[in-house]
Chains A and B, each alone.
Chain A
Amino acid sequence: MIKKESTDAQLVSAYMKGNEQAISVLITRHKQKIYSFIYSKVFDRDVSEDIFQDTFIKVIKTLKRGAYNEEGKFIPWVMRISHNLVIDHFRKNNRMPKFENNSDFNIFSVLHDGSLNAEKTMIKEQVEGDLKKIIQELPDDQKEVLIMRIYKEMSFKDISEKTGVSINTALGRMRYALINLRKVIDKHNIVLTN
């Protein structure tokens, strides 16, 4: 028979002998102390709830296995289990830190995803495709210089060596290539903006 005034040691002993009511009394008796202890470390109700639950799952398993030596130290033992689980929680969290938002500061106001969304990606592909088609319409010498400069990122010195013309000629071809591109774009009202 379980009495409310029974000591922890008596309750543990009764539980290990199969009295299920004993664990209920133990949990009810110590829930506030253990839960507050966990919360004082993690400051999160949901995480505290999880750690509290895991603590008592360990307690229940150990007692049911008969692996607990009663030395009148039930509550320090439970506190040590919860303390170890709190440390485990922080170890896991260090690998993946969690940021706490509040009404004054929201992390998403300073962090943003730099990649384009689906619509902008499509527009970008379309613009780049259109531009390539227009470039194909340029005279061969201008097209050659423009491709080397813009797409291959070569210097005008390298371009002049590769094409066998002077740097000034290469610069002039680049200039005409850009002028001609603008003319075609204006003439056909092509919009090349993202």
Chain B
Amino acid sequence: MQKMYSGTSRSERVNENLVPKEETIRFLLDYSKALSVIDYNKMKFEALLN
């Protein structure tokens, strides 16, 4: 019965030092470098360049 009605409170788990994976950060930085916005006649075009 105790098992059924009690569980670890979720808020306790959130207090861990949570950070995103290194590869997610790397992806975002690479994405930022690759993305360029081109202005043309008041229009903006996004281009991803390798």
Contacts and interface: CB of A to CB of B under 8 A. Distances in A.
Contact of A60 (B20, B21, B25, B32): B32
B37 interface: yes
Interface string A1-36: 000000000000000000010011001100110011
B16 to A, nearest CB: 8
Contacts of A56: 28
Contacts of B35: 60-61, 64
B14 A39 contact: yes
Interface residues of A, number: 24
B31 A60 contact: yes
Interface in B2-27: 3-4, 10-11, 13-14, 17-21, 24-25, 27
B44 to A, nearest CB: 5
Closest A-B pairs by Cβ, 9 of them: A40-B14, A36-B18, A64-B37, A56-B28, A52-B20, A35-B20, A60-B32, A23-B32, A32-B19
10 contacts: A39-B14, A43-B13, A53-B27, A56-B28, A57-B28, A57-B31, A60-B32, A61-B35, A64-B32, A64-B37
Interface of B: 3-4, 10-11, 13-14, 17-21, 24-25, 27-29, 31-33, 35-37, 44, 46
Interface of A: 20, 23-24, 27-28, 31-32, 35-36, 39-40, 43, 48-49, 52-53, 56-57, 60-61, 64-66, 104
